[in-house]
Amino acid sequence: MISSMSGATAIKRSGRVLGALLLNVNEYRVTLKNNSGDEDDWQTKLKACHQRCADRTLRVLEKNGSIFIKLGQHLSSMNYLLPLEWTRTFIPLQDRCPVSSYQAIEQMFIEDTGQPIASHFDNFSRDPIGAASLAQVHLANMKDTGAKVAVKVQHPALKEWVPLDLALTRFTFATLRYFFPEYDLEWLSDEMESSLPQELDFALEGKNALETKRHFDTIKGSPLVVPGVHWGLKRILVMDYIAGHRTDDLAYLDSHNIDRDEVSAALARIFNEMIFGDTSLHCDPHGGNLSIGYNDLRRPHNFDIILYDHGLYRDIPTKTKRDYAKLWLAVIDADEQGMRKYARDVAGISEEQFPLFASAITGRDYRAVATSVVSTRSEEEKEVISGAMGEGMLQQLVQLLGQVPRIILLILKTNDLTRNLDESLQTRAGPVRNFLILARYCSRTVFQEQLESVRSKGSVLWPQNMLRLFAAWVSYVRVEAKLSLYEWYVFIRRIARLSPLASI
């Protein structure tokens, strides 16, 4: 039974959402109707409308907290979909998260374990060292071993408010679809309802972390570190404490002689391995879930990349991996016919939708995709893409992303992470090296498919099969050789302190 206090809080939470929703809907309807014909004037008014509505929405997300912070963080990373005014306004939510009281955490421990915190840990920090939208982390020492651990605890209030907040989120996107059917974002609320139960199960998160750790421990030279798991329950997870700095903390990297180009390349390898390798994809890859630490014992590099928050993983079907690999090989080779074919295979993209989809997966103007996607994005190109959002691209993109498989959207999110991290690291190599690393994974994936195809047709000693095998091997070796030569070239340019390459 809901108490009168809880009932009043529920009314306030609902009122904030509904009030902001109605004001935003009305403001957009008025702005969209009052197009005087002066394109520059209308664009100025539209951008101002975006900003006012984003500011209003931000205040509601901050006041309500709970999963609304999570939603805002997700929206802040969707620069391939939302206007710049929205994504920039929501960026502070990455660091502005609720904190649950020590008393509330103590009560949750008693409810979930039958014992107070002191029965499990010594030196449990009363204040968290970090807080996120769904949980916060405290430092402690294990009672039995004295090991220093990070104790991740779910915000106790989520248990009460998640059902209401999901309903409000669903209602918000349904209302937006009713008034603006061309901007159907209901798939966002569908994705939240699908993923949130997994993210709120910390026992599942512990299992995911262990599986990821096991996989990357088998990859020689990989700098990825996943904190070890001691034990986990649905709302409590105990892991090794491993500290680090933000991956874009350039002062820290430079002061420890950590090569930015190698950090960028390592991140590209890690997430391409998750997409194309025999493991699952980490589906919440934002900067707050990654850190970097100096490690002078590691070879060939002198750093560790620590990956946190393993609540949400997805398995990518083998066929999707292979079609996606072929799509990217076509993109890198500027093979437009191949791009169109595999865009249709991997996401059901029509001929008319293709230019928009190509821009969405690469974060580039279509003209760059059709010529050389491995060139550096200029400020002019970024402005062109941003401006296009106000000229009709947004409507088409919303409709497009509403129809593609959800797993493709998660892969897009991962692509955005590696692309944005590379730009924030201000690497000497520019984007070229990461595209070649991507090409290496794509080529390997296609080569494995071709091997399977040859074996399914009989003995590899048959002349026809030997020719197929040789052709596949030549294609694979060509990419491997190109990447190896380029890595040596980058090394020489770095030693000579030359500027980054714009393209290849």
390 pLDDT tier (thresholds 50, 70, 90): very low
Q: Of 434, 483, 495, which is closest to residue 259 (Cα–Cα)? A: 495
* Cβ–Cβ < 8 Å for 3, 160: no
Per-residue model confidence as pLDDT tens digits over 201-239 = 999 999 999 999 999 999 998 999 999 999 999 999 999
User: 65-92 b/e with 16+ CB inside 10 Å = b?
Assistant: bbbbbbbbbbbbbbbbbbbbbbbebbee
Q: Which residues contact 453 (CB under 8 A, 6 or more apart)?
A: 468
**Which one of the listed residues 165, 201, 261, 284 is annotated catalytic?**
284
For residues 128 and 97, what is the distance between their CA atoms, to the nearest angstrom? 12
DSSP helix/strand/coil, 149 = strand
Q: What 3-state DSSP class applies to 293?
A: strand
Q: Across residues 50-55, what is the average pLDDT?
A: 95
This prediction's pTM: 0.81
Once rounded to an integer, what is the mean pLDDT over residues 165-177?
94
What is d(CA 313, CA 279) in angstroms, rounded to the nearest whole number?
Answer: 10
Q: How many CB atoms within 10 Å of residue 21?
A: 21
What is residue 24's predicted lDDT score, i.e. its pLDDT? 95
- Helix intervals (H) in 218-303: 250-255, 260-276
At residue 1, the pLDDT reads 42
User: For helices 432-456 and 463-495, what crossing angle results, to 10°?
Assistant: 170
Does the active-site annotation cover 296? no
DSSP 370: T
Over range 345-359, report the average pLDDT.
84
pLDDT of residue 84: 86
pLDDT tens, position by position, 314-332: 999 999 999 999 998 888 7
Determine the pLDDT at residue 313: 93
Measured CA to CA, the distance from residue 88 to residue 83 in angstroms comes to: 9
